[in-house]
Amino acid sequence: MAAFPDVTTRIVEQKPGRLVLGQADGVACRTMEMFEAFGFSERVLKEAYWVNETSFWRPDDARRGSITRSGRIQDTEDGLSEFPHVILNQARVHDFYLDVMRGGPAPLEPDYSRRLLDLAIAPPGADGPVSHPVTVTLERTDLALQGQLETVRARYVVGCDGARSTVRGALGRALHGDSANQAWGVMDVLAVTDFPDIRLKATIHSAHDGAVLIIPREGGYLVRIYVELDKLADNERISSRNVTAERLIATARRVLHPYTLEVKEVAWWSVYEIGQRLCDKFDDTPEGAAGARDPCVFIAGDACHTHSPKAGQGMNVSIQDSFNLGWKLAGVLRGRCRPCILHTYSAERRAVAQELIDFDRKWAKMFSAPPKAPATPTARASIRRSSRATSSSRGVSPPARRPDTTPRSSRPSRSISTWPRASRSGCASIPRRSSAWRTPGRSSSATRSRRTDAGACSPSPTRWTPPPRAAA
């Protein structure tokens, strides 16, 4: 909206200031394409960790108390997008959006420290719809003006206020669904470990201690670790378990055995319950009344759909929600689209959210399932299904494995331990919107995946180093 000087927009935020540490971190290829439309994709690429591969670990058949690598695949299929799948703190994404807003033709800055108290929609009058039908009451939460009330009248309101959305409650709508009664913990840690795939996206299943998902963070030092916890009883909340960061670390150590994990610092941690819930409609128009009036209040993101974070789609789908709604609102407000186009937002985005939740329900159940018995066809098939589902969880399907016809004696035999150390930025200098990093046989200063004799990808260095030249 900052791109349109003829549209007056106000952004209200309950937090006291800009986001400093975000919970979301996965940025899908499609989201990167939207960042390109806003003009800051290059900034994201230079700061982010590039997810080129995913590795899979399961209990060792010979020693069930230990884990062994069972596979490694390319994270996104060739030709999916000119952009990679990357990891970057949500707070940095917010900063980039704020920069775009401040530099637009109609500069915008969020109004912080304001809590929504009430939202009312005026019914159409005798002369037709009211010009500004939505009235919003805000309460100041900053110390200087704490308790002071503000009233805002608007043509349209969009509620992006999370799973406990006040806007959704004002519309009389609710999230419907169920919970898998499964608790998980997540932590961003600075750690010392001999686990060989610590700088790769990795899923690890142990025989008796649950599962762990590892996501390297940007910068080359921090790692995000998702830790499976105990199942919850019906109607039980994870807050009643008094889970601590020390417990998450201890569980992660048991899962990673025989590898060691020494946590030097915990930058952030949290616990959560897996639940897949969806709102019946994403606007204020009653069912069956689409032809009677047009919507003027909308909800987006977690306000209308919630799911587990391991699929890596929460921030991505939420951004896509607002992108879909934003251009339609701009078109209507500038007189270039009829208001009836706003009905398509709820229909289009609810269908996408339903597909995501259906997948997330299956994925969460499969990820939390205990590993199969060793060395059986069923176990091997389960590993393959898990591998494909994990790659698809970021919005894509993995490529089919292609046999390597190169003679074995001619294939590279470089081991994991000989790859260069990760750089601080998590990637090298990035060529402008080039897909050469993913194309076999082409050189690039960015990270490229490399094929092994099994058709999967070997570990990619996070900074490409040219081979030394022979002495003249």
Biggest CA-to-CA distance, the chain: 91
What is the total residue count of the chain? 472
Residue-wise burial string across 156-181, b where 16 or more C-beta atoms lie within 10 A, e elsewhere: bbbbbbeeebbbbebbebebeeeebe
Pairing of strands 149-154, 134-140: antiparallel
In tens, the pLDDT along 28-57 reads 999 999 999 999 999 999 999 999 999 999
Q: Which residue has the higher pLDDT, 414 or 388?
A: 388
In tens, the pLDDT along 188-224 reads 999 999 999 999 999 999 998 889 999 999 999 999 9
Whose tokens are 């995946």? That residue is: 449
pLDDT band, very low/low/confident/very high, at 241 (cuts 50, 70, 90)? confident
Which amino acid is it at 67? I
334 touches 7 (CB < 8 A): yes
In tens, the pLDDT along 49-79 reads 999 999 999 999 989 899 999 999 999 989 9
In tens, the pLDDT along 412-447 reads 333 332 233 333 333 333 333 333 333 333 333 333
Residue 78 main-chain phi, psi, to 5 deg: -60, 140
pLDDT band, very low/low/confident/very high, at 347 (cuts 50, 70, 90)? very high
What is the per-residue pLDDT for 35? Answer: 96
User: Is residue 58 flagged as an active site residue?
Assistant: no
What is the per-residue pLDDT for 59? Answer: 94
Side-chain-facing half-sphere of 74: CA atoms under 13 Å = 27
- Of 256-265, 374-383, 458-467, least confident by mean pLDDT is 458-467
Q: What is the pTM of this model?
A: 0.76
What is the per-residue pLDDT for 369? Answer: 73
Radius of gyration of the chain (CA): 24
Cβ-proximal residues to 136 (8 Å cutoff; 6+ apart), any chain: 12, 116, 118, 119, 151, 152, 153, 154, 157
Of these ranges, 70-74, 123-127, 399-403, the one predicted with the greatest mean pLDDT is 70-74
User: Is residue 302 flagged as an active site residue?
Assistant: no
What is the per-residue pLDDT for 306? Answer: 86
Other C-beta atoms closer than 10 Å to the C-beta of 417 total 8
Which amino acid is it at 36? E
* pLDDT over threshold 90, residue 25: no
**Active-site pick, 226, 339, 350, 361:** 226
pLDDT band, very low/low/confident/very high, at 408 (cuts 50, 70, 90)? very low
Residue 111 main-chain phi, psi, to 5 deg: -90, 105
Rounded to the nearest integer, the mean pLDDT of the chain is 80
323 touches 275 (CB < 8 A): no
Token pair recorded at residue 57: 């670990």
**Active-site pick, 217, 224, 361, 394:** 217
What would the mean pLDDT of 89-95 be, rounded to a whole number? 94
What would the mean pLDDT of 310-334 be, rounded to a whole number? 90
What is the per-residue pLDDT for 206? Answer: 93
What would the mean pLDDT of 374-380 be, rounded to a whole number? 53
The Cα 312–Cα 316 span in angstroms is 8
What is the per-residue pLDDT for 106? Answer: 94
CA 222 to chain CA centroid, Å, is 17
Of 56, 69, 83, the C-alpha closest to 214 is 56
User: Is residue 217 flagged as an active site residue?
Assistant: yes
- Of 13-27, 159-173, 325-339, least confident by mean pLDDT is 13-27
Instruction: Give percent of the chain with pLDDT exceeding 70.
Output: 75
User: Is residue 403 flagged as an active site residue?
Assistant: no
Q: DSSP characters for 152-164?
A: EEES-EEE---TT
* pLDDT over threshold 90, residue 395: no
Of 212, 221, 234, 208, the C-alpha closest to 310 is 212
Burial of 79 (C-beta count, 10 Å sphere; 0-12/13-18/19+):
exposed
What is the per-residue pLDDT for 104? Answer: 93
Residue 379 main-chain phi, psi, to 5 deg: -65, -45
What would the mean pLDDT of 100-121 be, rounded to a whole number? 96
Residue 279 main-chain phi, psi, to 5 deg: -85, 145
What is the per-residue pLDDT for 103? Answer: 95
What is the per-residue pLDDT for 291? Answer: 73
**Active-site pick, 84, 216, 309, 339:** 309
What is the per-residue pLDDT for 179? Answer: 66
Whose tokens are 């959006």? That residue is: 97
Instruction: Give percent of the chain with pLDDT exceeding 90.
Output: 58
Q: In this structure, what DSSP letter does residue 394 have? A: T
* pLDDT over threshold 60, residue 292: yes
What would the mean pLDDT of 251-273 be, rounded to a whole number? 93
Side-chain-facing half-sphere of 122: CA atoms under 13 Å = 16
The Cα 414–Cα 315 span in angstroms is 37
pLDDT band, very low/low/confident/very high, at 22 (cuts 50, 70, 90)? confident
